[in-house]
Amino acid sequence: MTVLVIGWVAVIATVGVAATSVGSLFAAREQAYTAAEAAALAAAVATYPPAGPGLPVALAAEYAARNGSRLVSCRCQVDLSIRPRTVMVTAAREVDVPIFGRVTVQASARSEFDPGLWLGE
């Protein structure tokens, strides 16, 4: 009977650790996605210099950092025309996962900005 109880305790502990690991990964993925969205929104406006101060990449990095992530990549060219543009950003967040150790989770987001609409045209 004691061996059976020890076996059940081991199974329950293993399931608990696995559930915690999966939960940590899902939470980190959502946080990385939120950081990527914020970075993409900030960078999109900054691609049209009259609309936003600063360089798009610098703003993307700042907003990713404000959300606990780091900027991995940013396709965000400065464009002085009033044509619509799309910005693509990838952010990464590191999380400690039981058993696996430190894991990096990445997420990408894109944002569109239309200076013509911003100018009321």
Q: Which of 38, 33, 32, 40 is nearest to 112 (CA)?
A: 40
Give me the pLDDT at residue 18, please: 66
Q: Which residues contact 41 (CB under 8 A, 6 or more apart)?
A: 63, 111
CB 104 within 8 A of CB 31: no
Give me the pLDDT at residue 69, please: 96
Give me the pLDDT at residue 64, please: 97
Q: Which residue has the tokens 């894991």?
A: 103
Q: Which residues contact 110 (CB under 8 A, 6 or more apart)?
A: 40, 86, 87, 88, 89
Full pLDDT tens readout for the chain, 121 residues = 787 777 777 777 766 766 676 777 788 899 999 999 999 999 999 999 988 788 999 999 999 999 999 999 999 999 899 999 999 999 999 988 777 788 899 999 999 999 988 888 7
3-state secondary structure of 101: strand
Give me the pLDDT at residue 15, please: 67
Give me the pLDDT at residue 112, please: 95
Give me the pLDDT at residue 6, please: 78
